Amino acid sequence: MDETQIKIMLRIAREAGNFSELKRLEKIMRFHDPGFSYAKLRQQKKYLNQSIFEKVKSTNNGKYISA
């Protein structure tokens, strides 16, 4: 899964109000950063864009990655 796919997934999840997909991405982030909360950092888009995409790309845990 590359950065473009992750960006598309996150954008679609946000626009559709797909909270289960946002939760799945949040679980991937928590795997790397236990204090991460999407709800708290929603306004900090730069942080989200950098951290989620870099960390999802580096996660090889099949439990969280389905694409």
pLDDT in tens, 11-64: 777 766 667 777 777 777 777 667 666 655 555 555 555 566 666 666 655 555
Question: For position 22, what pLDDT does the model report?
Answer: 74
Question: For position 67, what pLDDT does the model report?
Answer: 47
pTM: 0.35
Question: For position 8, what pLDDT does the model report?
Answer: 72
Q: Is residue 63 part of a domain?
A: no
Residue 57 CB burial class (10 angstroms; 0-12, 13-18, ≥19): middle
Considering its fold, how many domains does the chain have in total? 1
Q: Is residue 65 part of a domain?
A: no
Distance in angstroms (rounded) separating the CA atoms of residues 16 and 29: 21
Distance in angstroms (rounded) separating the CA atoms of residues 56 and 21: 13
Q: Is residue 16 part of a domain?
A: yes
Question: For position 50, what pLDDT does the model report?
Answer: 57
Q: Which domain holds residue 22?
A: 3-58
Helices and strands of the chain, counted as H and E runs:
4, 0
